[in-house]
């Protein structure tokens, strides 16, 4: 391009003129969506508590049920709409994690059960798992050393 404008200047112009996100609207939608999902989780938890389940059982059972809800809503083509509206409010809770595994599994079924579903299932959740597990190992080591020293 016979330059009227430098690369740097063009990028600055693009950043300046690009339409931005509606932060207020998005934050509100994320708050409502994330809040609603967590409220459902809280209700499930209280129900288990009410039936006299101990703390550990209650926590596990609540997670399992929330994961199921996320997977189920993904399967019936609803979770993507929730995600479109709620943004991070829909992707941060455990239902979003479930959605990130079920959606590629559904999408890549056409490529077969091994190279499709098997290989692509953790396409989105993979990095979360890798660094999540890595972080927990680091935290565990720190905790272990701390215990030894103190």
Q: Does 80 bind other proteins (CB under 8 A)?
A: yes
Min separation Cβ 84 and other proteins, Å: 6
Q: Which is nearer to other proteins, 2 or 55 (CB)?
A: 2
Q: What is the 3-state secondary structure (H, E, C) of the chain?
A: CCCCCCHHHHHHHHHHHCCCCCHHHHHHHHHHHHHHHHHHHHHHHHHHHHCCCCHHHHHHHHHHHHHHHHHHHHHCCCHHHHHHHHCHHHHCCHHHHHHHHHHHHHHHHHHCHHHHHHHHCCCCHHHHHHHHHHHHHHHHHHHHHHHHHC
Taking CB under 8 A as the binding criterion, the range among 1-9, 56-64, 127-135, 142-150 that sits at the site for other proteins is 1-9
Q: Does 66 bind other proteins (CB under 8 A)?
A: no
Q: Does 82 bind other proteins (CB under 8 A)?
A: yes
Round to whole Å and give the CA distance between 87 and 22. Answer: 12
Min separation Cβ 97 and other proteins, Å: 11
Min separation Cβ 110 and other proteins, Å: 5
* Interface map 89-118 toward other proteins (x if CB under 8 A): -xx----x--xx-xxx-xxx-x--------
Among 77, 114, 147, 148, binds other proteins (CB under 8 A): 77
């Amino acid at each position: 391009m016979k330059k009227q404008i430098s690369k740097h200047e063009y990028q600055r112009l693009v950043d300046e003129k690009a339409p931005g996100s509606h932060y207020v609207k998005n934050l509100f939608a994320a708050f409502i969506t994330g809040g609603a999902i967590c409220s459902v989780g809280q209700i499930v938890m209280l129900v288990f508590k009410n039936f006299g389940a101990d703390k550990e059982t209650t926590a596990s059972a609540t997670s399992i049920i929330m994961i199921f809800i996320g997977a189920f809503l993904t399967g019936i083509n609803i979770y993507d709409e929730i995600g479109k509206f709620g943004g991070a409010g829909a992707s941060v809770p455990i239902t979003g994690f479930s959605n990130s595994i079920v959606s590629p599994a559904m999408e890549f079924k056409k490529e077969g059960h091994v190279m499709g579903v098997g290989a692509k299932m953790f396409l989105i959740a993979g990095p979360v798992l890798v660094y999540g597990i890595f972080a927990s190992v680091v935290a565990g080591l720190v905790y272990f050393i701390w215990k030894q020293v103190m």
